[in-house]
Structure 1
Amino acid sequence: MIFPSSRPSLPLRRARRGAAAALVVTALVTLAACDADVPGKDVTPVDEATSQAPTGASGAPAGFEDLYAQDLEWTSCSSGFECATATAPVSWDDPEAGTIELDLKRTRATGEKQGSLLINPGGPGGSGTTFVESAATTFGDRLLEAFDVVGFDPRGVRASTEVVCYDDEGKDEYLSAAFDVETDEGLEEMRQAAADWAQACAENTGDLLGSVDTQSAAKDMDMLRAVLGDDQLNYLGFSYGTDLGATYAGLFPDRAGRLVLDGAMDPTLEAADVSKGQAVGFENALRAYVEDCQAGQECPLTGSVDDGMQQVRGVLDRALDRPYPTSGDRVVTQTLAFYGIAVTLYSEQSWPVLTQALDEAISAATGDTLLYLADFYNDRNADGSFSTNSTEAFSAINCLDSRSSDDVETMRAEAAAIEEAAPTVGTFFSYGGLTCADWPYPVAERDYDVTAPGAPPIVVIGTTNDPATPYVWAQGMADTLASGVLVTYDGEGHTAYGRSNDCIADAVEDYLVDGTAPEEGLTC
């Protein structure tokens, strides 16, 4: 996921698998509203004779034995999938703090079953139950034959007990707001907007808001492992999902099975380093787009690549002072313009849509396609409602996981360094310290070894020009994990498995299905 500085937040929004692919399919066909309803559940029970019994309370922390031993009631739902709801504690530190629900959806193994494979598309805030619906077209046949593929909405996310902040109208206003970060007044307005958002989240979510951190979600995964009947966790995580998987390995190295982490995040980085790294990643991806655009016909960007980059920046700068009109009653603010540009950089297949958006903005000073792209990015429906709570979950999870300084002088120095490294988009990755400055709960204390000593091989995949999770992060994660094995995809876009080539597919499936780890340093 990414957030521009016009609304304060850490820049990891929508770093999740599936968004870019869906954008390609949808945006190149039509510019109509893109949010389809997720098929609902029915109440047809699954034949219990075909369900694997849980292992019981083995490995459960004291006070949580019943949760580890719970029985899931799977029901048939939405075109061949099975759905269930698991119960988890609000806090893994306090058995008396109450419980929450975790929403699950799975597709059953088509061949001889080895076990379950938990998946996470990223975010934080991405829905695993939605992601699993694309398993048949994303994952290889061998993997689908061997595993029940299980998607889950992590705590705080979507169909699980969720984080709630503003109503749709307030959220729409929040997502559209733009501030002049060059002025002290603009920064103070940003701070107040973030404080109001945090207060609304606290009022409307309750105590769960303090327990949606990644460590708690990883502990939920261990409970799900036991409930699903697996002695070890097999897991495929993308983008932020790599952080979740690495956290699990650190907490439970003896229960880690075959883990593949694609589009990896470096667990040793501070929040400010993440912002700078992503700014450079998106700058590089935008430069690759501009070069490709100018090599073709009808590109609205003229002159050299540097000239083209400056013209993109001009589109963004104009939107701050004069938001782009659209054919409706909404306008494209600088924030929305950046969302619209950024979402297309997750996959080179989306670049033609960006060309259309920039052509409209430059030649006609209108923003219909930019607005469509921004709405796609924000999961906003045509009627002004939102199909997910990814914005809310993203803020809450990140604010519990790590924070950068909210000191103005420090932030301005960091912003200068970011903008020097990424002059076109760096502004939109600065001042993230304001996001969590007034968050009502403290950062969760890390209580595990990030090297995950004793875990089996963990496959870490990095794409060389990944904008959202730069390749150097995958190198960092692989180096940090005691058993990390780095696989490199030489290409564009966010993540690799399911969207790149057979070399990556074989490496992932050979490991998950057969247990054969790739050679260290494999490049595809």
Structure 2
Amino acid sequence: MLLSGCLSAFIPERPADPAPVTDGVPSELIEFYDQPPQWQDCGPDLQCATITAPLDWHDPARGEIDLALTRYLAEQGAPDGSLLTNPGGPGASGVSFVQSSAQYLFADDVRAAYDIVGFDPRGVGESTAVECLDDAAMDSYLYDLPEGERGSAEWERELEKSNADFAAGCEENTGDLLEFITTEQAARDLDLIRAVLGENELRYLGFSYGTFLGATYANLFPERAGHLVLDAAIDPSVPSAMVGAVQGVGFEDALRAYLADCGDGGQCPFPGNVDDGMADLGALLAEVDDRPLVGADGRELGADTLVTAIISSLYSPLSWPDLTAALEGAQQGDASGAFALADMYNDRVNGTYVANTTEAFSAYNCMDYPVSTAAETDAADELMSENAPTIAPYWSGPDLCEQWPHEPTGTRDRITAEGAAPILVVGTTGDPATPYQWAEALAEQLDSGTLITFEGEGHGGYGNSACINDAVGDFLIDGTVPDDGLRCQ
């Protein structure tokens, strides 16, 4: 009792939430901006709410959608405001991210100062969602092996048919929403969330695709961009085919880092030096491409799924031991470890897809990116073949977006966010999914961009370096801009 009494003296009582900010909002949007979230407890130190947004911000009368929110309550009791966050994807659930990770990923100073607010973007998770296929059809789409030889006309036709069936399922089961799954629309949703939380400016920490969402927000609403941190940045000017190719090179480089590390540690699925290991891995991929392994549930493990398993484990060095186990298993004819990694990547648990990440990912990309030209595709293939020869044979195929039922509305342009307050960009030198060159490019494009660097492996710097955490925390809490070019280990 005495301890409880002492603690209560130091933790301020939580005040009432501020009223929504509606200054300057057009009359046709007031009903959306003037809706205080009705928060309900949904876990220890967690609250959840749902708000409504226009289906189409450019024609609010067309209908409404739901946006799901959650917040991890500030540990100091009386918050200094709200910090919004997005984990990436596109298509990852911000609600699940905050509920599972806020207490562990966000540093003590940030958790004390702010309510950490996660949201499922339009089309994702608990918000009005993209729906495409049932579980059995999704298994077929993601895991079935074409009968035709890789690269043959028959192989192309089979994959094009699979893409067409997936796209048709999205159109049939999602309806009017599908046309409006764009980052531009989602950024306007983000401004709505800012306002209903009672914030005059957006305070935001976005990861991976969340950097594109945050940069788009700053470009649309520079006067409302407060302290924005963009970690594991995407270069918004890169065309679709080249995005995939640059990522492929990043994953090939990460594979080499993994092999160097496991070789030094003494437990590695392949003997010899890194070049020997890459050659042996290439041989393993070719072997399962020719003679797929069969899992306990009857699914066949071909090279494409093995590559998915590999890249899923390269997002963090903490997953490298799982990659070792999966590769050693595959060498012995056991597909279970590889399927476990691929299923985790695809949000598949015991035959059920527990999230709609694949559907939302496809919808955003097909609406945000113009379909690549033949010249862009050829340049991307050349980059892969020259710089990622191990995984290049299994990296590309017919483009789903060529089958998409709606024309893309996004463009691939530089983002300057002219007039925005300082924006902090975090890059990681060994990031496979969003290579460091993209962080350099985004920081250079932004009029007020500042780049800080984590010299390490994995996807993202925040949470992996005390030096990065300190710089990000000082920026978010006090607005202190670190020296441009700060490098951390």
Instruction: Report the TM-score when normalising by structure 2.
Output: 0.93
In 2, the alpha carbon distance for the partners of 1:215 and 1:122 equals 15
Amino acid at match of 1:370: A
- Indicate whether 1:236 and 2:202 are aligned: no
* Counterpart for residue 370 of structure 1: 338
* Counterpart for residue 348 of structure 1: 317
- Indicate whether 1:222 and 2:186 are aligned: no
* Counterpart for residue 130 of structure 1: 96
In 2, the alpha carbon distance for the partners of 1:327 and 1:84 equals 41
Identity %: 47
Q: Residues 335, 72 of structure 1: CA spacing in aligned structure 2 closer, same or farther, 3 A cutoff?
A: same
In 1, the alpha carbon distance for the partners of 2:43 and 2:240 equals 39
Contact 1:60–1:223 (CA<8 Å) still a contact in 2? no
- Indicate whether 1:259 and 2:228 are aligned: yes
Q: CA RMSD in A?
A: 1.9
Contact 2:423–2:449 (CA<8 Å) still a contact in 1? yes
* Counterpart for residue 114 of structure 1: 80
1:83 counterpart SS class: strand
In 2, the alpha carbon distance for the partners of 1:198 and 1:60 equals 36
* Counterpart for residue 368 of structure 2: 401
Post-superposition Cα deviations, 1:288-339, rounded to whole Å, max 9, x if no partner, equal 1111222232422023311211211222222222211234433323222111
Contact 2:239–2:372 (CA<8 Å) still a contact in 1? no
Contact 1:412–1:431 (CA<8 Å) still a contact in 2? no
* Counterpart for residue 147 of structure 1: 114
* Counterpart for residue 439 of structure 1: 404
Tell me which of 358, 366, 382 is aligned to 1:391: 358
Instruction: Name the count of aligned residue pairs.
Output: 472
1:345 counterpart SS class: coil
In 2, the alpha carbon distance for the partners of 1:320 and 1:202 equals 32
- Indicate whether 1:501 and 2:468 are aligned: no
In 2, the alpha carbon distance for the partners of 1:102 and 1:504 equals 31
1:349 counterpart SS class: helix
1:487 counterpart SS class: strand
Contact 2:249–2:387 (CA<8 Å) still a contact in 1? yes
Post-superposition Cα deviations, 1:57-112, rounded to whole Å, max 9, x if no partner, equal 22434521110111211011122210000101111111111001000000122224
In 1, the alpha carbon distance for the partners of 2:413 and 2:295 equals 50
Amino acid at match of 2:486: L
Q: Residues 393, 506 of structure 1: CA spacing in aligned structure 2 closer, same or farther, 3 A cutoff?
A: same
Amino acid at match of 1:120: N
In 2, the alpha carbon distance for the partners of 1:414 and 1:427 equals 13
Q: Residues 345, 505 of structure 1: CA spacing in aligned structure 2 closer, same or farther, 3 A cutoff?
A: same
Amino acid at match of 2:339: L
Shift in Å, 1:361: 1.3
1:64 counterpart SS class: helix
In 2, the alpha carbon distance for the partners of 1:174 and 1:84 equals 34
In 1, the alpha carbon distance for the partners of 2:323 and 2:14 equals 51
* Counterpart for residue 338 of structure 1: 307
* Counterpart for residue 309 of structure 1: 278
In 2, the alpha carbon distance for the partners of 1:492 and 1:184 equals 39
Q: Residues 144, 410 of structure 1: CA spacing in aligned structure 2 closer, same or farther, 3 A cutoff?
A: closer
Unaligned segments of structure 1, at least 5 residues: 1-47
1:123 counterpart SS class: coil
Contact 1:251–1:448 (CA<8 Å) still a contact in 2? no
Shift in Å, 1:49: 8.5
Shift in Å, 1:146: 1.2
Post-superposition Cα deviations, 1:220-275, rounded to whole Å, max 9, x if no partner, equal 00011110000000000000000000000000000000000000011111112211
Contact 1:462–1:475 (CA<8 Å) still a contact in 2? yes
Tell me which of 449, 474, 488 is aligned to 2:453: 488
Shift in Å, 1:413: 5.8
Amino acid at match of 1:54: A
- Indicate whether 1:473 and 2:438 are aligned: yes
Q: Which segment drifts farther, 452-461 or 270-279? A: 270-279
Shift in Å, 1:457: 0.6
Contact 1:459–1:487 (CA<8 Å) still a contact in 2? yes
Shift in Å, 1:448: 9.5
Q: Residues 59, 424 of structure 1: CA spacing in aligned structure 2 closer, same or farther, 3 A cutoff?
A: farther
In 1, the alpha carbon distance for the partners of 2:390 and 2:27 equals 52
* Counterpart for residue 516 of structure 1: 480
Shift in Å, 1:215: 0.7
Contact 2:237–2:412 (CA<8 Å) still a contact in 1? no
In 2, the alpha carbon distance for the partners of 1:395 and 1:445 equals 14
Amino acid at match of 2:92: G
Contact 2:250–2:435 (CA<8 Å) still a contact in 1? yes
Tell me which of 266, 269, 278 is aligned to 1:300: 269
In 1, the alpha carbon distance for the partners of 2:271 and 2:278 equals 10
In 1, the alpha carbon distance for the partners of 2:74 and 2:434 equals 31
Shift in Å, 1:50: 3.9
In 1, the alpha carbon distance for the partners of 2:414 and 2:316 equals 34
Contact 2:242–2:379 (CA<8 Å) still a contact in 1? no
Unaligned segments of structure 2, at least 5 residues: 1-12
Shift in Å, 1:199: 0.7
Q: Residues 84, 183 of structure 1: CA spacing in aligned structure 2 closer, same or farther, 3 A cutoff?
A: same
